[in-house]
Amino acid sequence: MSDATPPAGREALTPTQLHVLQKLERSGPPVIFDHDDVAGLIAEAEDTMRDLSLRLGGEKLVVFKSFIARIHGCEVLHLQPDDFRWNPATAAGFVAHKAIELSLNWRGTPSPADAVDEAIARLADQDSYRGDYIAGLTDGAHAELRARAIDRTTKFLQQFPPLPRSAHPMLESPVRWRPPGTIEFSGKADLVVGRPEGRESRRLIIDFKSGGTSPIHLHDLRFYALLETLSQKIPPRRLVTYYLDYAELEVEDVTMDVLHAALMRTVDAIERHIALTIDRAQPVKKEGPPCRWCPVLTDCAEGSAYLRRGDDP
């Protein structure tokens, strides 16, 4: 987004939009990573995943950012069956993302409410778990979901600088990497902007959050940067976490150190998963905010004590 908004267009931006734009723009010379450094990272990742696949004994493993976060959190929770269920609070994110996607491609300028209503209608027609959830909403749940999604969509459209077509914006675009073996990486960032050009790193990976800050947010983006590098052979330029409720953003420039750290954290997670599921190692408990919704909380003295202490934000 170095030249995405012409000077005349900047005059129409709000102070918040201008602040965001200045954080996203490139300053200084083009960012071009050393070809051998990137090739070495990819070779290291391929060799490591090949060895870890052998330890899995043929089991297929898809690695998501949530998988990594769970294994580095409470290992007892990681081993529990995934019984996630959508509700208006959690579903508002994907509805708002769909509404924003429609807004960026709409003829004219839709209101956030119109974009959300169209997003809900389109999602309800999808043959998917999300579609089934939307189609089965009660009137009250539909109203709550709509209100939450409109809030998020409005904040994005009012706070974020307009994204021109030349920025090639992609919302929730899936990215996968399949190295030799049975392990696959998968991710879907909220927003990716930037047009590829040769070996220059131009793309920005952006995640939107409706709550407060967490170290996990940075790790999630680093995993996306690693995945982008492994699949596209060119690292992204910058990672951005945008907090809608605060109209603030945290930014990190991508470096080889960042990518190697992301790979190490991912490898550590896979190795520990293998230790727990194949080698039957004893899981380690770790108290934290996820204790609130942990399915084994009633039998976990550590988690119950943590919540009683009032440490849960």
**198: which residues sit within 8 A by CB, 6+ positions away?**
none
Residue 6 lies in a domain: no
pLDDT at 174: 94
Say if residue 177 is in the same domain as residue 249.
yes
Q: Is residue 48 one of the residues assigned to a domain? A: yes
> What is the chain's mean pLDDT, rounded?
91
Q: Clarify whether residues 119 and 174 are in a common domain.
A: no
Q: How many domains does the chain have?
A: 2
Q: Which pair of tokens denotes residue 306?
A: 């943590």
Q: Say whether both 122 and 254 belong to one domain.
A: no
Chain segment 5-48, per-residue pLDDT in tens: 544 478 889 999 999 999 998 888 999 999 999 999 999 999 99
Contact 166, 197 (CB under 8 A): no
The answer to whether position 273 is within a domain reads no
Predicted local confidence at residue 1, as pLDDT = 52
> Considering the domain boundaries, does residue 210 fall inside one?
yes
Q: What are phi and psi of 237, to 5 degrees?
A: -85, -40
Check whether residue 38 and residue 117 sit in a common domain. no
Q: What is the pLDDT of residue 313?
A: 46
For residues 127 and 262, membership in a common domain is answered with no
Same domain, yes or no, for 127 and 175?
no
Q: What are phi and psi of 250, to 5 degrees?
A: -110, 135
CB atoms within 10 A of CB 129: 11
Say what the pLDDT of residue 148 is.
96
For 118, the domain range is 88-159
Among 134, 159, 184, where does a domain finish? Answer: 159
Q: How far apart are the C-alpha atoms of 211 and 38, rounded to whole Å? A: 34
Query: Of 130, 159, 188, at which residue does a domain stop?
Result: 159
Domain limit, last residue, from 266, 289, 305:
266
- Asked if residue 226 and residue 262 are part of one domain, the reply reads yes
Question: Considering the domain boundaries, does residue 139 fall inside one?
Answer: yes
- This prediction's pTM: 0.90
As given in the structure block, the two tokens for residue 189 are 């960032």
The answer on 54 and 94 residing in a single domain is: no
Residues 170 and 255 reside in one and the same domain = yes
Q: Which residues of the chain have pLDDT under 50?
A: 2-4, 6-8, 312-313
Which of 276, 260, 227, 219 lies closest to 59 in space, CA to CA? 276
Q: Say how far apart CA 19 and CA 35 lie, in whole Å.
A: 33
Residues 203 and 196: beta-carbon distance below 8 Å: yes
Question: Does residue 225 form part of some domain?
Answer: yes
**From CA 249, how far away is CA 16, in angstroms rounded?**
11
Q: Are residues 151 and 179 located together in one domain of the fold? A: no
Whether residue 118 is contained in a domain is answered as yes
DSSP summary character for residue 99:
H
Measure the CA–CA gap between 3 and 129, rounded to whole angstroms: 40
Structure confidence by residue, pLDDT tens digits, 108-147 = 888 999 999 999 999 999 999 999 999 999 999 999 999 9
User: What is the pLDDT, as a whole number, of residue 237?
Assistant: 96
Both 138 and 177 in one domain: the answer is: no
pLDDT value, residue 8: 47
Residue 293 lies in a domain: no
Whether residue 118 is found in the same domain as residue 194: no
Specify the pLDDT at position 2.
46
